[in-house]
Chain A
Amino acid sequence: MATVTLTEGRDTAALRRGARGSRRPRLVVLTFIGPALLGLIVFLGYPLVAAVYFSFTRFTLINPPEWVGLDNWRHLAQDPLVGVAAKNTLWLTAVMVPARIIGALLTAMLLNAMKRSRSAYRTLFYLPALAPPVTATIAFVLLLKPQTGPVDTMLRWLGIDGPLWFNDPAWAKPALVLLSLWAIGDLMIIFVAALLDVPVDLYEAASLDGANAWQKFRFVTLPTIQPVLVFATITGIIGCAQYFTQAAVAASVASNQVTGGGGVSGTFGYPQNSMLTYPMWLYTEGFRYNLFGYANVLALLLFVVSMSITVILIRRFKAFTGSDR
C-alpha cells in the first residue's frame, strides 16, 4: 500500500514538473508571437467580425449601424454591375497572373543565361517596378494614346492602324496586362534568385542521363523553384483580387478627365465599365453611394474567395511545408 502511495506521489510530482516544464516554453512562444497575434486580432480578426456584423446593417459611417437583416445580401442579386466587376477581376486574374509569372520567369532565365552585362540588364528590367503605380500608369496610358502617342505613331510608320487601347472596351483589359508586364521587375528579381538556387549538380546529372533543355527545365528547374512559383501565384491572385489603382488611374487618364472636380471615382470603369474591377465597385458602393452595409457584403465575398483560393493552392502544392504534393 505504502509502495503504491509512494509511486503515486512520484508520478504526481513528475507530472507537475512536466506541466511546469511544458508551460514555460509555451509562455516563451506566446511572448514572441504575442505582438503579431495582437496585430492579427486587432487588424484582421476585429475588422472581419465587424464586417460580418455591418453586412446586416444600414451603415453610413456617421450614425450607428441599423439592423436590416438580409437586405444587403438580397441586393446582390439586384446589383447590375457587381457581376460585370467580378467578371473583369476574374479576367484580369486569369490572364495577368500567368502572364506575369511566365514573363518574369522567361526574363529571369534569359538574364541568368547572359554572360556579359548581366547586372546592368537586371537593373534595367527592374527599374519600371520602382516607379510609383500612379505615375507609371499615367505614363503608360500616354505612351499608348491613340493617334498622338509614340506607340501609335510607330505603328503608323509600319502601316498599322493601332487599336484604341485604353479607350476601347475590347482592348482596355489587355492594355492593363501589358502595363503589368512592363512593371514585371519585382517578380523577375525573385525568379532570378530562385533560379540561382537550383543546384548545378542536378543539371549535370540530368545531362549525363541525356536530358535535353526542355527536360532539364521540366524535371529539374520547375520542381526546384516550385515554392517560389506558388508564392508568385498566391500573391498574384491576391494582388489581382485587390486590383484598383492602375485601373482607376488608366480610366481617368484615358477618358481625358485626369483631374476632374468630382474626383477620380467619377470615371471608374471607363470605357463602358470594361475597367471596373470588383474593389472599385466596392469602393463606389461604400464611399460614393454611402451604402457601407452593402459594401461590407462585397468585401466579405472578396475575402472568402481570396482565402479559399489561397488555402486550396497551399494545400494542393504544400508549398510552404517543403514537401512535394
Chain B
Amino acid sequence: MRRTRILAGLAVLLAVTAACTPAPEPKPIATPGVEPSGEVELWHFFTEREAKAIDGIIADFQAKYPKVKVTVKGGQDDSKVVQAIGAGTGPDVAISYSTDIVGKFCATGGWVDLNPYVQRDGVDLKVMPEVVRSYTEFRGKRCAMPFLADAYGFYYNKKMLADAGIANPPKTLDELTEAAKKLTVRKPDGTIERAGFLPLFGFYENSPSHLGPMVGAQWLKPDGTSAIGSDPQWQALLKWQKDLVDWYGYDKLEKFRASLGDEWSADNAFQKGQIAMAVDGEWRQAFLKDQAPNVEYGVSPLPTADASRYGSGYISGNVIGVSRTAKNPEAAWALVKYLTLDQSAQVKLSNGIRNVPTLTSALTASDLQVDDNFKVFLSIFAHPQSSTTPPSAVGPAYQETFGTFVDAYQSGQKKDLTAGLSEVDKQINDVIKLAG
C-alpha cells in the first residue's frame, strides 16, 4: 500500500514536470496589408551608450507606426530569453548577441519561422549578403534576422612596421610569419619583450572561428556533421600556426601572454604597443580612439593562404527574432522588419553602435559615417568569400570541442594532427546526434 502511494506520488510529480512546459502553438499570420497595432515588448542586451541608440531607433519606429507601442527592456541575456519562452512569458521580440543561439531557436521553434511573413510581404532577402543570410537560418527555417554585423580584420601598428622596413601589411600567411619575426623584440634572456604577432589560439580574438577564413576552412558539412577532420585547410592553418608558435617557443609565448593586460581594458596589448599586429573586430577602432588615441594604426583584410581569398574575413553579428510566445506577432514582425530591412534605420543604428550595417545598400549610403579604416571592414563584410560559423542545434559546442584540441596541439601535448582531428569529428558528431 505504502509503495503504491509513493509510486502514485512520483507519477503525479512526473505528470506535473512534463506538463509545465507549454507545447508550441503555431499562430496563423494576418492577410497582406494589415496595419500593425497594439503593444510589443522588445528585449535586448545592450547597455548605456548602445541602449540609448536603440531607444532612438525605437522612437523612429513608433513615429512611423503610431498605433504600435513598444516597451523596451535592456540588459537581457540569452538565457533569460530562453527561460521566459519556455515558461510561456517570452518577449514579442528579442535581440541576441550571438549567432550561436540561432540553431537552438530554429530547431526548437523558440523563435518563429519568419518565412511566411517574408513571403507574404514580398521581401527579397538578397538585399543582404549571403553570409548573413546563412547565419540567420537553420534547417530551412528563417527564425532570425541580422541585427547589425561584426567584421574581423587585421590591425597593424604603422610606426612599428615602418621602423622594421615593412612597407605594407602582410597579405599572405608567409608574409605574416616573416613580418611577425621581424617585428618581434626579445630580451637578452630570450623572453619576449614585444611580439610581432601573438599566434596562440585563445589569445584575445585568435579563435579558430576568426582565423579559419584565412584558409577558407569549413566547419560543418551540409548534413550538419563535422567537416573539420576531412577539410585539409584546417590542417594547413594549424601547421602554419604551430610553426610560428614553435619559432617563439610555446612557454615563452605563454609567459608573455600572461603578462599582458585585459583585451577590453586600456591595457590591451595592441593599444599598449606590446604586439605589433593583431586580428580584431571593427569595434577596436572605438576603443583605440577612446583609450589609445596616439597609436598610429592601420587596418587591412586578414592575410590569407591563397591570394584569391584576400579581402575576405570572418563575419558574425547580433540577431533578432520573434518569440513563439509573442502576444502580438504582427507588430513584432513589423518591428523586426523595420530594424533589419529599413535602410535609414540600419544607417542610424550603425552610426550609433558602430557596427556594420547588414543591408548591402546601407554600406554605400551617403549618411553612413565612415573613415578609411571603417571602409576596410565594410569591404570585408561585402566580400563574397567572407564566411561565418554555421548555426547548430548545440550552439558553439563544435567550435569549443575543436578549441580544446587546438589548445592541446599548440602546446605540444597532442602531436598527431590527422588522428586528433578525426577524434574531434567523432566528439562533435556524438554531441550533435544527442541534440537530435
Contacts and interface: CB of A to CB of B under 8 A. Distances in A.
Nearest to B424: A80
B263 A257 contact: yes
A54 interface: yes
Given A288-B395, A289-B394, A291-B435, A263 B77 contact: yes
B254 A256 contact: no
B17 A259 contact: no
A24 B13 CA distance: 30
Given A75-B434, A147-B259, A289-B431, A63 B394 contact: no
Chain A CB count within 10 A is highest, among B14, B82, B110, B262, for: B262
A255 interface: yes
A100 interface: no
B18 A63 contact: no
Given A147-B255, A147-B258, A290 B393 contact: yes
B23 interface: yes
A164 B191 CA distance: 14
B397 A288 contact: yes
Contacts, number: 135
A272 B408 contact: yes
A46 B18 contact: no
A146 interface: yes
Interface string B242-283: 000000000000110111111111000000000000000000
Interface string A50-64: 100110001011111
B24 interface: yes
Contact of A64 (B18, B82, B260): B18
B403 to A, nearest CB: 10
Given A53-B14, A71-B434, A256-B257, A287 B108 contact: no
Nearest to A61: B86
Interface string B300-344: 000000000000000000000000100000000000000000000
A64 B62 CA distance: 36
B430 interface: yes
Contacts of A50: 13-14, 17
Interface residues of A, number: 49
Contacts of B407: 271-273
B17 A260 contact: no
B369 interface: no
A58 B262 CA distance: 38
Interface string B11-34: 001101111011110000000000
Interface in A270-325: 270-273, 287-291, 294
B101 to A, nearest CB: 9
A255 B257 CA distance: 8
A272 B413 CA distance: 10
Interface in A234-278: 253-263, 270-273
A249 B436 CA distance: 32
A144 to B, nearest CB: 10
Contacts of B257: 167, 256
A148 interface: yes
A193 interface: no
B364 interface: no
Chain A CB count within 10 A is highest, among B17, B22, B431, for: B17
Given A81-B404, A164-B255, A61 B434 contact: no
A167 B254 contact: yes
A167 B258 contact: yes
Given A63-B108, A258-B262, A289-B396, 4 more contacts: A68-B436, A81-B404, A260-B263, A273-B404
Interface of A: 45-46, 49-50, 53-54, 58, 60-66, 68, 71-72, 75, 78, 80-81, 145-148, 164, 167-168, 253-263, 270-273, 287-291, 294
